[in-house]
Amino acid sequence: MQYRTLGRTGIKVSPYALGAMMFGPFGNPDHEDATKIIHRALDAGINFIDTADAYSGGESEEIVGKALKRCRDDVVLATKARLPMGDDPNRQGASRRWLVRALDDSLRRLDTDHVDLFQIHRPDPDTDIEETLSALTDLVRAGKVRAIGSSAMPPSEIVEAQWVAERRGLQRFRTEQPSYSILARGIETEVLPVAERYGMGALVWSPLAKGMLTGRVRKGQQTDLRRAAMPAFADQFGDERRLDVIERLISLADEAGVKLTHLAIAFAIAHPGVTSAIVGPRTMDHLDDLLAGVDLTLSDEVLDKIDEIVPPGTDIGTRDVAAYVPPALASPSLRRRPVDERAAA
């Protein structure tokens, strides 16, 4: 395993990061089996584990904490907070009030006194970024956090956060965690270049496009992929534009003599702005399949052909339902003048 530096933190991490979203009722409810998967990943050289308080209501963190009980110091451990953790409107967001409580809750579930990377799971337009960075700075100074990061943050907000941190003498985001795959290359336009400019590591999620790049999703064929049956993902998995691209990628993978899964992840970690790609196996077979491609390096010829199929900076088809939607896109009222002003014009 060739380790990489996480931005400018000096922390060395594996190019594959083990994502723990599938550990717990959402994916694999068997704690013992999930623990074996974690240990298998560690034995293979993966030293970077990413989880979040919202994954299975905190159960993912509990599983990870138990699995790392005897090897905590050997692992770069990352978690996240921001998404709702109950019906109380204050048990979510990026306010000081919630982040301090959320981290303490995560540390208890993880059975550790610190995390190496604490990330804001999504931007919080209701909270001033200075408030968020101030709270995170205090958590770093308290020794509970080693580095802080953002996730799915638009490039303009990444820049604003860096400027605020510099002006106010606060800790700055050292990492960004965006969605990135052959089907979703939009971050190549600004997010990755901006992250590189500020020395941020990029920990990308969904390199297999929610499973669409496993080879188990084919045009005109039934699939046994669990997510394909979930109503929330129906538009993504039924998108003809994506399915057409997948057929071309399968042909390319066959031509190159590699599996589509290996092609997809090797593509993600080939970008110089990407530090690690998060792989989120639900079963040991899933993990073993991914680990079999860990040494794959794509040639320029193959990367050029991928560029021909999906041009750089392009997102294919339906927006990922897990992606962050800025308020200006989510609320029509922010895109339309009041009716009386429009009529007067």
What residues act catalytically?
55
Give the whole-angstrom CA distance, residue 195 versus residue 174.
9
Helix axes 240-256, 260-270, angle to 10 degrees: 90
Give Rg (Cα) of the chain.
Answer: 20
- 3-state SS of 98-115 is HHHHHHHHHHHHHCCCCE
In whole angstroms, how far apart are CA 21 and each of 163, 231, 300? 32, 19, 33
The torsion angles phi and psi of 142, rounded to 5 degrees, stand at -80, -5
DSSP string, 257-315: TS-HHHHHHHHHHHSTT--EEEE--SSHHHHHHHHTTTT----HHHHHHHHHHS-TT-B
Give the whole-angstrom CA distance, residue 19 versus residue 287.
11
**DSSP 8-state secondary structure symbol assigned to residue 122:** S
**How many Cβ atoms from other residues are within 10 Å of residue 46's Cβ?**
25
Instruction: Answer whether 66's CB lies under 8 Å from 36's CB.
Output: no
The alpha-helical segments, DSSP class H, found in 151-280 are: 155-168, 191-197, 234-237, 240-256, 260-270
Pairing of strands 12-13, 4-5: antiparallel
The secondary element (H helix, E strand) that includes residue 148 is strand 145-151
- Amino acid in position 206: S
In whole angstroms, how far apart are CA 198 and each of 9, 194, 201? 12, 6, 9
The secondary element (H helix, E strand) that includes residue 341 is helix 339-344
